[in-house]
Amino acid sequence: MAGKKRLLTGIRASGEIHLGNYFGAMAPAIRAQADFDSFLFIADFHGLTSSPPPDELRSSVRSVAAAWLACGADPNTCTLWRQSDVKEVLELSYILSCVTGLGLLERAHSYKDARAKSKQLRSGILFYPVLMAADILLFEADVVPVGKDQLQHLEMTRDMATFFNEAYSPVLKLPEAMSFESTQVLPGVDGRKMSKSYGNAIHLFSEEPVLKKEVMKIITDSKALDEPKNAEECLIYQIFKVVASADRAKLMKQKLEAGGYGYGDAKKELLQEILEGFSAMRQNYRRWIDHPSDIEDCLRQGAKKASEKAVKLMDRVRQEVGL
């Protein structure tokens, strides 16, 4: 879109969307559609790092795509595609790996965390930031929405672009980080950042019985019903104040701090807030999931638009490196 900066963001295909995905990535990107040329993708190549069964990966792609569409991504104004439908990303990833030092990759927080948990790491984890850099650079993104935990990956992307530009010529655009004031980082039910890998998520589009079980798992202290509670230290309230309006969050805080309002009551109120506040999105999601061919049509349309950009950039890259 002429005159608009290009915004790019992706969500890994590794299960259903949770509240952290929505408030941290999807909602800000969808609100930005009017002001940016928005490129939104489903990262199924990234999903391969955990070697999921093929049907599970395909299901995850459909689920993430349906979530984007249900939450307001408009295929007529944004570009929504499946990462693996634009193969140029793998070619650029390999070329970037040829100008990137191993030391940079070994300093990635994601690699260090994985290394601390397992001695048997696959190379896909080490090269994860290279593919992520290719995702961004291939489409000449101007801005990338990032949280504090993702800032290093964007800095590494800029480093790789600089390595290439200095080795050949300034073909790759260096993206800027964009932080939205409204972007929220949600804790999971165990107090750590809400994450699929931690298994501590509350999934936005789960069936009501499953959603209820997830909410009821939120860890609390041992304060009795009548005791006043510190709302800011209460995980239920920390999630509720992001999900609900400011007035409703204020009211829950008052009830917690006054006493006579238990954690069970707060969990029920949080569950009801999710069910009512996201009712329309949950219904839209179900309609998309029930019509997978419509999802595929949207992804093919988006892949065609994305491929046009990717082919042009890769023609320039190949010429620079002598391919």
Which pLDDT score is estimated for 109?
Answer: 78
Which pLDDT score is estimated for 179?
Answer: 75
Please name the residue that has the structure tokens 């892949």: 303
Residue 203 lies in a domain: no
Look at residue 218 and tell me whether its pLDDT is greater than 90: yes
Q: What is the pLDDT of residues 192-205, one digit of tens each?
A: 989 888 899 999 99
Taking alpha carbons only, the member of 160, 113, 104, 109 closest to residue 132 is 160
On whether both 257 and 123 belong to a single domain, the answer is no
Distances (CA, A) of 198 to 190, 193, 195, 218: 9, 8, 5, 14
Which of 77-81, 88-92, 123-127 shows the lowest per-residue confidence on average (mean pLDDT)? 123-127
Please name the residue that has the structure tokens 């994450």: 195
Domain holding 237: CATH number? Answer: 1.10.240.10
Which pLDDT score is estimated for 141?
Answer: 97
Which of 100-109, 113-122, 255-264 shows the lowest per-residue confidence on average (mean pLDDT)? 113-122
Q: What is the pLDDT of residues 51-64, one digit of tens each?
A: 899 999 999 999 99
45/181 Cα distance (integer angstroms): 30
Look at residue 1 and tell me whether its pLDDT is greater than 70: no
On whether both 142 and 265 belong to a single domain, the answer is no
On whether both 126 and 262 belong to a single domain, the answer is no
174/176 Cα distance (integer angstroms): 7
Residue 200 lies in a domain: no
Residue 1 lies in a domain: no
Which of 48-52, 76-80, 238-242 shows the lowest per-residue confidence on average (mean pLDDT)? 48-52
Look at residue 183 and tell me whether its pLDDT is greater than 60: no
pTM: 0.91
On whether both 118 and 43 belong to a single domain, the answer is yes
Residue 134 lies in a domain: yes
On whether both 50 and 141 belong to a single domain, the answer is yes
On whether both 97 and 39 belong to a single domain, the answer is yes
Q: What is the pLDDT of residues 274-295, one digit of tens each?
A: 999 999 999 999 999 999 999 9
Distances (CA, A) of 38 to 29, 47, 231, 281: 8, 22, 37, 20
Pairing between strand 6-12 and 37-43?
parallel
156 within 8 A of 129, measured Cβ to Cβ: yes
Which pLDDT score is estimated for 120?
Answer: 76
240/246 Cα distance (integer angstroms): 10
With helix as H, strand as E and coil as C, how does 115-127 read? HHHCCCCCHHHHC
Residue 248 lies in a domain: yes
**Amino acid letter for position 14:** S
Look at residue 98 and tell me whether its pLDDT is greater than 90: yes
Residue 284 lies in a domain: no
Which tokens go with 183?
């972007």
Q: What is the pLDDT of residues 114-157, one digit of tens each?
A: 778 776 788 888 899 999 999 999 999 999 988 776 788 899 99
On whether both 152 and 213 belong to a single domain, the answer is no
CA torsion, ordered 302, 303, 304, 307, to nearest 10 deg: 130
Burial of residue 47 (CB within 10 Å: 0-12, 13-18, 19+) is buried
Please name the residue that has the structure tokens 């349906």: 66
Distances (CA, A) of 100 to 156, 165, 289, 316: 10, 12, 40, 19
8 within 8 A of 153, measured Cβ to Cβ: no
199: left (phi over 0), alpha (psi -120 to 50) or beta: left
On whether both 132 and 228 belong to a single domain, the answer is no
On whether both 17 and 42 belong to a single domain, the answer is yes
Residues whose CB is less than 8 angstroms from the CB of residue 141 and which lie 6 or more positions away in sequence, other chains included: 6, 7, 8, 39, 173, 175
Phi, psi (degrees; rounded to nearest 5) at 98: -80, -15
On whether both 260 and 308 belong to a single domain, the answer is no
Residue 48 lies in a domain: yes
Which tokens go with 139?
């489409």
Range of the domain at 261: 208-277
Other CB atoms within 10 A of residue 251 CB: 13
On whether both 160 and 103 belong to a single domain, the answer is yes
**Amino acid letter for position 321:** V
On whether both 159 and 255 belong to a single domain, the answer is no
**Res. 224 pLDDT band, cuts 50 70 90:** very high
Look at residue 169 and tell me whether its pLDDT is greater than 70: yes
Domain holding 21: CATH number? Answer: 3.40.50.620
**Res. 108 pLDDT band, cuts 50 70 90:** confident
Number of domains forming the structure of the chain: 2
Residue 191 lies in a domain: no
